[in-house]
Every structure is written in structure tokens, then in C-alpha cells.
A and B are shown apart, each in its own frame.
Chain A
Amino acid sequence: MEILINLGYLVAAVLFILGIKGMTTPKTAVRGNQLSATGMLIAVVAALLDHNVVSYEYIIIGVLIGGAIGAFMAKKVAMTDMPEMVAALNGIGGGASLLVAAANYLESQQLAEMGKFTPTYDWSVAVILSILIGAVTLTGSFVAVGKLKGRIGDAKNVKLFKWIVKLCLLTLLGGAGYFAAVDPLHADLLVGGLIILCLVLGVCLVMPIGGADMPVVVSLLNSYSGLAGAAAGFVLGNNGLIITGSLVGASGIILTSIMCKAMNRSLTNVLFGGSMAASAGVSKSENDAFYEGKVKFSSADELAMLLDGAQSVVFVPGYGLAVAQAQHATRELANMLESKGASVKYAIHPVAGRMPGHMNVLLAEAEVPYDQLVEMDAINPEFAQTDVAIVLGANDVVNPAAAKDPASPIFGMPILDVHNAKTVVVVKRGLSPGFAGIPNELFIRDNSLMVPGDAKKVLQDTIGALKDL
């Protein structure tokens, strides 16, 4: 039976790998996801067959509660809120790993009393690691959710948080050393204390990170949630958990490094550098002076006339599109332009939105064909032949200063070269700076027009005006 159960875990892990492999093209992705779900079912059945499972009522209660909440969340969530959803799921995953480690610790005490278990150093280390990663993921993710929702602002006192983090780490190191070396099985208080310490640590690690850096943080916590599972696998001596946890860990690490590259920042700088706007941002009066009298304002009617004669149009969506829920209006306008014979594309910057791939999901929801979504490196050479580029609620990712002003705090960050288009239309609610806290020279260029207002409203007005032409 033991062999069969372990084979079941292996099959599950293989199905997870095949499932992720399916995600390499949108065509095979749905099937891939189903393969992964099948793998999960097999793993659960294998666990239920374990000789340690003698009664099912508690298990059923847990599954029913979790299943109902999970199904409700998945049905209700709006595509614009996916970053919060993923961040919350990361935290829940971390919490589950933490609880598993704690429960296993208590059981090991019982087993030791029966003489069936002797603690080893690697077991002690695994327990501590799984508490640490699980707890940090749990609280860190919920701070990230608060920041994504805008309920938690950028922390002013970065130094204080760094100081607390260092203190927590030192205490943790001491506690863990004592735990492993002295008496791991009679340390309930110590373990409880360490759990609380790690929960505090999670809060203090994420608090000083700026709201703009949330795509990195969400990816990193995604990785942690996997590593927490792997650590729980080490505690339980379960290879299925280890394989699966490391897969998820690897996925998060890759996404984190993609996000960091797209912002031209190192991971350490994101995690410990504080909010960019706080260190480099300009004051409101400086910002106003920068734009004073130099921005050419336009209207939806003018935009409609401009688009009427355009042969090639590129939409550049940013976080503002998500806030305004303008994805459907964008698609409607694109349809009209295409029926007039214009070519329409969408330029997607890797950090547009609040998480990797956020814009793609929003546009997919509005039924934009995915082959019209073009990545930064592929679309940049095309801007020179573009008649109209429409920037929808994006700012820093189209700031030319990143390419040519070495003094700029975002210098070196790869951007979309929209300024090369014949005309750039910026749809934006106001002239306030983006996440980086700096003004954008694009808005005062000769070939730029600004249509102030909510992206959805402006697009709908433009659609109306186009119909009347």
C-alpha cells in the first residue's frame, strides 16, 4: 500500500509538470490546467488511503468549508482584481503550510512518547524553515493585498522596518539554534513564539516596499508559497510535496526575475530600497511647472477625427485601464477601426498593471485575440510606422527619460517607444506623476496630445463621435 501511495504522489507530480507544460500555448492551456487538477485529485486520493487516516469526518468538514469559500472566490472575482486574488491565494497557501508544520510538530511529540520517533537535526531545521516561510508568506501576502487595494500606503519609515526585520532575524536565528540543539520536542512555547515572530517578520518585510513594486512582491510571494509547501514536504518526508513545492517555487522565481529586469532594478533594491517615489519623486509644484502651458489638450471628438484617417493604431494599456474597467470599450473601438480597414495592435509592457500578464487577461476578457497582443521587444520597432498610439492609463513605462536621461531614477528601464509614433494620444485622468513620482516628457512632446478623463468615458465618447462622422 505504501508503495502505491507514493506512486500516486509521483503520478500527481508528473501531471503537474505536464499541466504547466500545457501552459506554453493558449490553445493547450485549458487542457493543461485540467491535467493539473487531475493530478491534485490523485494526490488527495493517495493521501486518503494512508494508514494514518482512520476517520474521514474532520477531513470532509475541512474540504467542504474550503471548497465552498474557494468556489465562491473564483466565481465572484473580477478580472481587474486578479492581482489581489493571486496575492490572497499565496497567503492562504503559506498559512496552510504553516498549520501543517505546527500540527506535525504536535504529532511528533505524541509519536516520540510512544517511542516511534526520534527528532533529527534535519527534521528540526525543516520545522523551523516551514514555520518561517509559511508565516512570512501568510502575513506578507495580506499586506500586499492591502497595498494593491490601496488601503495600505507606502511606508514613510523604511529604516524602522529594516531595523525590526534585522532584530526578528537575529532572534529567530537564536531561537532556531536553541530549538535544534537543545530539546526540540519540549519547546511548545518557543515554537509558538517563533511563529508569532515570523508573522511579524512577514509584515515588516512587505510594508516598506512601494506600491509600484507590487508585481515583484506578488511574484516573489508566489515563489515563497511553493517553497513553504516544499519545506512542509521535508518535515513530513513526503517527496510529492517536495517536487510540487519546488515547481511552484521555480515559477515564482522566474516571474520575479522577469519583473525585476523589466524595471531595471535588482531584487535587493526592490525589497530593501523603499518606495521609489519617496526617494526620487518631485513635489507637486515642480510637477506642475514641468507641464505648465506645454501640454496640448484635445478632446474625444478630435481623437475620433484623427483615428478616422489612421491606417495603423497601437493601444498601450496600463494600470489606468484596469482601474477604469475600460477593456471592453477599448475592444469596441478597436473593432470599429478594424472595420474601417486600419490595423490594430496592443503593446504590452511586462510590468503594465499590477502583476505579470495582468493586461493580457483583461484584454482577453474583452475578447481581444491574443495574437494582437504584442510584447515590448516585438512592437518597439513598429512604432515608427504607427499613425496613432493611444496610451491608456500608462505612465512610467512610456517615459522617454528612461532611455536617455541618466539622471532619471528610472534610467535604464526598458520602455515602449510610443514617442516614435506619428501621433501619441495620452488618455489620462490628470497630470499627476506615475508610480516613480517623476513627470513624463512624453506628454509635452510635439507629437503628443492629451485627452483628459477616465479611459472608459473617453473611449465611449470617441466611439460615439466616430459613428457620427
Chain B
Amino acid sequence: MRFLIYMSDYIIPFLFLYIVAFGLLMKTNVFDDFLQGAKDGFKVVFDILPTLIGLMVAIGILRASGTLNIISDILRPLTDLLHFPSQLVPVAIIKLFSSSAATSLVLDIFKEYGPDSYLGRLVSVMMSSTETIFYTLAVYFMAAGVKKTRYTLLGCLLTTLTGIIVSVIMTNLVF
């Protein structure tokens, strides 16, 4: 499974090569386009800054007061049974409701244990394979005026659960 780490090193450079070479072939103004797109990126980051400040302060308080440790101590007997680290349970649950709140918890894990620790790697893989179910369902179904969502929630929970289980397996295999 080591090859997955080598592959990870190739993904970004090859994507760049592919896109820029294709742009040159199609004779588009690659650098002008890049600059224009990069400006949009600034806006995206500035838009989330206030949310991030608010939530990182809240998580900082939860960490410093010891609340996060209490929560994971309470959960430990259950999560030991499932072979899932108790520190990551809050992330997995909060992620169902709010992506930015989950992000703040992930940053807290990085700070406490380091991004290259087992927990740091597992939470990174998990974050890239799960979505904010309840928020997304609310926004989309509100837009369509739908009240009965039938099997949507079941399907969403199933894919999320799959994502988490495979993340644990992959993290154990690869690193």
C-alpha cells in the first residue's frame, strides 16, 4: 500500500501539468486565466473567515476547559468496542450538521496530536470522504419545497458510514 503515498505525491503536479499543457494546446491565455481565478479564491477565503473565527474560539474554549477530553472519556468504552478512536467521534457527529464546526474540531486534533499522527491522518482522510448531511438536505429540499424526503436520509447516512469505515481501513493499511 506504500504506492498510495507515492501516488499522492503525483496527483497535484500531474493535474497542473495536464491542465496547463491542455490550455497551451488550446491557445488560451493560461496565466491571465490563472490570475482571474486566483482572485475568486481570495473572496472564498474572506467569506469564511468570520465563521472560522467564531467556531475556532468556541472549540478553543471547549478544549481549554477540558470539555472535549470529558466527552471522549465518556465515549471511550463504546468506541473501543468499535475500534474507532473516541477523540474523533465529535468530529464525525458534528460533520453531519456543520462543515465549518467540524473543521474547527479537525484543527484542534491537528494541534493536539499533530497532522502526521495516526489521529491526524485518519481525520484528514475522513474529512475528504464525508459531507454535511443535514445542512445540505435542508438547503436543497427547501429550494424544491419538498416535505417528504423518502429514502434520501437513509442513503446519505449509508454513504457517510461507508466513507468513515473505509477511511479507518485505508489509514491502517497505508500508513
A complexed with B: no
Which residue numbers of A lie inside 8 Å of B, CB to CB? Answer: none
Which residue numbers of B lie inside 8 Å of A, CB to CB? Answer: none
